[in-house]
Amino acid sequence: MTTNPTSEARRYQNLRAHLGYLKLNDAAEHLNTVLDVARSDGLSLTAALERLLEIEVEATEARRLASRLRFACLPGPWTIADFDFAAQPGVDENLVRDLATLRFLDDAANVLFVGPPGVGKTMLATALARGTAEAGARVYFTTAADLAAKCHKAALEGRWNTCMRFFAGPRLLVIDELGYLPLPGDGASALFQVINQRYLKSSTILTTNVGIADWAGAFGDATVAAAMLDRLLHRATVVGIDGPSYRLRAHQRTSDTLRAAAGHRPAPAAGQGGSHAS
C-alpha cells in the first residue's frame, strides 16, 4: 500500500499543532528528530512515543528544578561529592552520607552543624539543601541575621503572619551562621517563632560556631535559648566539626602556587630558619 505524501505531511503538521496546543513545546521541537531516529532504527510506535514524552518530561523537570534552585537562594553549587572528607578529618563521613539520603526529611528532623569558622559547615548544609531541591522539595537558605532582619521588618509593616507562613513553607529551611553576628533586640524571639512554626512539621538545618552549652549566653535570654534548643534537638542530628579551616587551607594552596609560578619556594614556617633582614 502506497502512503500518500500529502496525507503524511498533513498528519505531521497536525501532530506538531496538537503538541503545541497542549503546550508540549519540547516534544514538538524534537518531533522531527524522534521520527527520523524511529525510521532509521526501526523503533516501534510505542518506543517512539515513549522517547518523545521522555524528552518533554526531562525538560519539564529541568525547568522545575531551576525554579526551586532560584527560590532556594543557595550560596553556592556545592554537592556532597564536592566535599573533601580526607582533608577534613573532623567530619564524620558516614554520618554525613547518611544525612545525604535525606531520610531525616521524612521524620521532620533537624540537623545542626556545630564548629569553628571555615570547617565546611555552610558547604555541607548547602549540599544537603541542593540534594533536597533535586529530590523535588522546596528549600530556602538564609543567614540567621537576614532571617531576624526580615522578621523585624515584617513586624513593623504588619506582615508578621505572612512572614511566619513564608518561613514555615519550605520542606527544608537552612539557617546559616547563627552566632556569627549579634541578632537585633527581638532577633532571638523571631528565630524561636520560626523554629516553633516548623516544629514536628518540616526540617531545619542550622549552622553555628556557638557550642550548644553556650547558647543561653550567646542569645542573652536563657529562656528563649532553652525553648529553641528543646524544639531543635527533639528530633535532631548534631554534627560537631573540629578541624582545619577550608578557607585558610585554600588560601595557603593559592599562595604556594603563586610563589611557585614566580620561581620562589614556599615561605618557611615560623622557627624553621631562613634569611632575615638586618
Q: State the pTM of this model.
A: 0.81
Residue 150 C-alpha cell reads as 526580615
- Choose one of 71, 100, 119: the last residue of a domain: 71
Confidence of residue 275 (pLDDT cuts 50, 70, 90): very low
118 or 126: whose pLDDT is higher?
A: 126
Q: Express each pLDDT in 32-55 by its tens digit.
A: 999 999 999 999 999 999 999 999
3-state secondary structure of 152: helix
Looking at the fold, whether 118 and 58 belong to one and the same domain comes out as no
pLDDT recorded at residue 2: 54
In a domain, 84, yes or no: yes
Q: How many domains does the chain have?
A: 2
DSSP 122: H
Looking at the fold, whether 159 and 214 belong to one and the same domain comes out as yes
The mean pLDDT of the chain is 87
Q: Express each pLDDT in 231-241 by its tens digit.
A: 999 999 999 99
Helix or strand (DSSP H, E) at 218 = helix 215-219
Q: Domain containing 22: what range?
A: 5-71
Looking at the fold, whether 153 and 203 belong to one and the same domain comes out as yes
Q: What is the C-alpha end-to-end distance of the chain, expressed in Å?
A: 101
In a domain, 221, yes or no: yes
CATH number for 133: 3.40.50.300
In a domain, 275, yes or no: no
Number of neighbouring beta carbons within 10 Å of residue 84: 11
DSSP 76: S
Looking at the fold, whether 86 and 30 belong to one and the same domain comes out as no
d(CA 50, CA 71): 31
pLDDT recorded at residue 272: 42
Looking at the fold, whether 43 and 98 belong to one and the same domain comes out as no
Confidence of residue 276 (pLDDT cuts 50, 70, 90): very low
Half-sphere exposure at residue 278, Cβ-oriented, CA atoms within 13 angstroms:
0
